[in-house]
């Protein structure tokens, strides 16, 4: 048995920034343990990649670990001579879209610097293990680790991030074990093993799908690649007229009133918000502006707009609007856009709005039946590889993560009422099955989507953490 003041489960970007900010703000030296099976803490799913075509999907300038020093990362990048090592990072809009591996290295370096010393004299250690269960104790939580150890802490922080994507129907049956079916799109080693002449079907059209396609094309893939999604929506391109440094995201996110609410007041319906947004875009375009900057006002207001929506409106958004919102919210790195445009123009790559209605093993290949969206004839096609890019699961009650399932089963943390992520209060205290906030269990990062809706991008996560850490510091006073 080992013990700590604070046990952070998950050492990706969220867990690392949490540990750094806690060590910076703590009023006394704390013993902070990060439980993370990866050897390189600070990277997580997004940044623990060696692939040179995996790049940040937004300019370097809006990524940070220290909201009070947003120039720290650009200075770090320049001082290490990275622009010369990776000249392809600089894009025509004048911004750097760096490799995710480089950003991961930066976050890991910052974390390790805080292992070595920090403002509060706290100890931060990395326990290379996986937490599989939790028990409430009189003073906090006891975590069971997969190596048989236990870890007692006054405060447990769940920063477990994304679920591995699960095979969607009709791939969730016998076909899920077929060698042609790649369930995990982040397994770039397996994508690299796809023969160059293979007929590839990509399920999904999001950034993850584009990452997989970019890896195939960079590896000299010559076979046809087809991407399908039920909605057929692809990430929107940033207008070419939007050039130069992005607006100061920290300043926009810490305003007492968000840009959208300042302009339009509080809105309680999704339809009302959409109508307002469309009117704003029309006005902007009539005046020579563009949708991107107008949409940015809404994106940077979600922290205020989302919690004010009634639950039924949140569900309406998730059912009908989220896909549309996401394709405007998440751009592709320009380098990946270029790969994709070239292959599309050459006729090697196609995108289609269609449903996969059946999948059967056919020798070394998979026979897939596709039904076009909006009707039309079903057609059967053979594929040598199917890559599942349908996105991570976000329902704690169906999680593949034993700790997440255990927290739900014991009622220590209840899924958010809209069904995505966990319910938490404004200070990220877990709301238990009886509706009570638990000061000994905080949940941070993407698992709080239901509560905040904006906890996916690095800047939004980092700022939320900075907002809640003072409350946590106070709760750890003896």
Ligand X SMILES: Cc1cc2nc3c(=O)[nH]c(=O)nc-3n(C[C@H](O)[C@H](O)[C@H](O)COP(=O)(O)OP(=O)(O)OC[C@H]3O[C@@H](n4cnc5c(N)ncnc54)[C@H](O)[C@@H]3O)c2cc1C
Contacting residue, 149, 269, 456, 475, with ligand X by CB under 6 A: 456
Q: Is residue 157 at the binding interface for ligand X, with CB under 6 A as the rule?
A: no
Give CA separation, 308 vs 159, 253, 295, 335, 358, in Å: 25, 16, 19, 37, 41
Single out the segment in contact with ligand X by CB under 6 A; choices: 36-44, 190-198, 372-380, 413-421.
Answer: 36-44
Contacting residue, 206, 301, 399, 401, with ligand X by CB under 6 A: 401
The CB density around residue 46, as the number of other CB atoms within 10 Å, is 20
Contacting residue, 6, 58, 73, 205, with ligand X by CB under 6 A: 58
Contacting residue, 51, 457, 466, 472, with ligand X by CB under 6 A: 457
Tokens of 89: 């990072």
Pattern 344-383, ligand X, x by CB under 6 A: ----------------------------------------
Single out the segment in contact with ligand X by CB under 6 A; choices: 37-45, 227-235, 239-247, 282-290.
Answer: 37-45
d(CA 296, CA 328) in angstroms, rounded, equals 9
Contacting residue, 159, 370, 389, 431, with ligand X by CB under 6 A: 159
Total number of residues binding ligand X (CB under 6 A)?
Answer: 33
* 261-265 own/partner pairs: CB under 8 Å, 24+ apart: 261/301, 261/304, 261/305, 263/297
The answer to whether residues 266 and 308 touch, using CB atoms and an 8 Å cutoff, is: yes
* Closest CB to ligand X among residues 5, 163: 163
* Strand residues in 22-139 grouped as ranges (E): 31-35, 123-127, 131-137
d(CA 237, CA 458) in angstroms, rounded, equals 20
Tokens of 85: 């090592």
Crossing angle for the helix pair 334-345 and 207-218, to the nearest 10 degrees: 70
Give CA separation, 467 vs 261, 463, 464, in Å: 20, 6, 5
Contacting residue, 4, 5, 10, 21, with ligand X by CB under 6 A: 10
Interface residues for ligand X in 254-293 (CB under 6 A)? none
d(CA 392, CA 380) in angstroms, rounded, equals 27
Single out the segment in contact with ligand X by CB under 6 A; choices: 56-64, 222-230, 280-288, 313-321.
Answer: 56-64
Q: Is residue 161 at the binding interface for ligand X, with CB under 6 A as the rule?
A: yes
Single out the segment in contact with ligand X by CB under 6 A; choices: 31-39, 109-117, 190-198, 252-260.
Answer: 31-39
CB of 27 to ligand X, least distance (A): 26
d(CA 385, CA 365) in angstroms, rounded, equals 7
Omega into 170 within 30° of 0, i.e. cis? yes
Q: Is residue 204 at the binding interface for ligand X, with CB under 6 A as the rule?
A: no
Pattern 114-153, ligand X, x by CB under 6 A: ----------------xx----------------------
* Overall size of the chain counted in residues: 478
Single out the segment in contact with ligand X by CB under 6 A; choices: 4-12, 73-81, 342-350, 435-443.
Answer: 4-12
SS (H, E, C) 91-108: CCCCCECCEHHHHHHHHH
* Closest CB to ligand X among residues 7, 366: 7
Q: Is residue 37 at the binding interface for ligand X, with CB under 6 A as the rule?
A: yes
DSSP classification of residue 193 = T
For 410, phi and psi rounded to 5 degrees?
Answer: -80, -5
Single out the segment in contact with ligand X by CB under 6 A; choices: 5-13, 286-294, 405-413, 423-431.
Answer: 5-13
CB of 8 to ligand X, least distance (A): 9
* Closest CB to ligand X among residues 365, 389: 389
d(CA 428, CA 437) in angstroms, rounded, equals 9
d(CA 464, CA 477) in angstroms, rounded, equals 21
CB of 56 to ligand X, least distance (A): 4
Single out the segment in contact with ligand X by CB under 6 A; choices: 34-42, 196-204, 247-255, 293-301.
Answer: 34-42
Contacting positions for ligand X (CB under 6 A): 9-15, 35-38, 44-46, 56-58, 63, 130-131, 159-162, 208, 401, 403, 445-446, 456-458, 461
């Amino acid at each position: 048995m080992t013990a700590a003041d604070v046990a952070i489960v998950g050492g990706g970007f969220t867990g690392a920034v949490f540990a750094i900010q806690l060590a910076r703000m703590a009023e006394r030296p704390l013993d902070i343990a990060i439980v993370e099976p990866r050897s390189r803490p600070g990277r997580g799913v997004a940044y623990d990649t060696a692939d040179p075509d995996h790049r940040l999907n937004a300019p370097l300038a809006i990524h940070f670990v220290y909201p009070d020093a947003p120039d720290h990362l650009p200075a770090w990048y320049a001082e290490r001579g990275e622009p010369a090592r990776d000249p392809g990072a600089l894009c025509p809009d004048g911004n750097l879209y760096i490799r995710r591996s480089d950003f991961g290295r930066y976050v890991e370096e910052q974390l390790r610097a805080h292992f070595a010393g920090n403002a509060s004299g706290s100890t931060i250690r990395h326990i290379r293990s996986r937490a599989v269960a939790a028990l409430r104790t009189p003073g906090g939580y006891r975590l069971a680790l997969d190596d048989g150890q236990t870890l007692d802490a006054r405060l447990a922080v769940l920063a477990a991030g994304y679920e591995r994507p699960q095979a969607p129907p009709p791939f969730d049956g016998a076909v899920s074990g077929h060698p042609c079916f790649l369930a995990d799109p982040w397994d770039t080693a397996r994508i690299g093993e796809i023969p160059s002449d293979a007929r590839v079907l990509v399920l999904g059209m999001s950034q993850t799908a584009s990452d997989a396609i970019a890896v195939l094309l960079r590896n000299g893939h010559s076979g046809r690649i087809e991407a399908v999604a039920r909605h057929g929506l692809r990430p929107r391109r940033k207008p070419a007229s939007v050039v130069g440094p992005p607006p100061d995201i920290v300043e926009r996110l810490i305003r007492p009133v968000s840009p959208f609410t300042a302009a339009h007041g509080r809105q309680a319906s999704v339809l009302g918000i959409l109508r307002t947004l469309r009117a704003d875009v029309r006005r902007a375009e009539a005046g020579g502006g563009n949708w991107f900057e107008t949409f940015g006002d809404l994106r940077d207001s979600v922290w205020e707009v989302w919690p004010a929506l009634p639950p039924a409106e949140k569900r309406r958004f998730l059912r009908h609007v989220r896909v549309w919102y996401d394709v405007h919210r998440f751009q592709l790195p320009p380098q990946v856009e270029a790969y994709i445009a070239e292959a599309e123009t050459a006729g090697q790559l196609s995108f289609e709005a269609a449903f996969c209605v059946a999948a059967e093993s056919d020798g070394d290949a998979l026979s897939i039946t596709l039904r076009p969206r909006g009707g039309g004839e079903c057609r059967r096609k053979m594929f040598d590889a199917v890559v599942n890019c349908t996105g991570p699961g976000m329902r704690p009650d169906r999680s593949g993560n034993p700790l997440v399932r255990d927290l739900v089963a014991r009622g220590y943390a209840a899924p958010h009422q809209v069904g995505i992520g966990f319910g938490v209060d404004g200070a990220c205290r877990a709301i238990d099955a009886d509706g009570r906030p638990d000061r000994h269990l905080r949940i941070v990062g993407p698992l709080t989507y239901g509560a905040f809706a904006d906890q996916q991008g690095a800047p939004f996560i980092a700022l939320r953490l900075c907002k809640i850490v003072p409350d946590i510091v106070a709760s750890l006073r003896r």
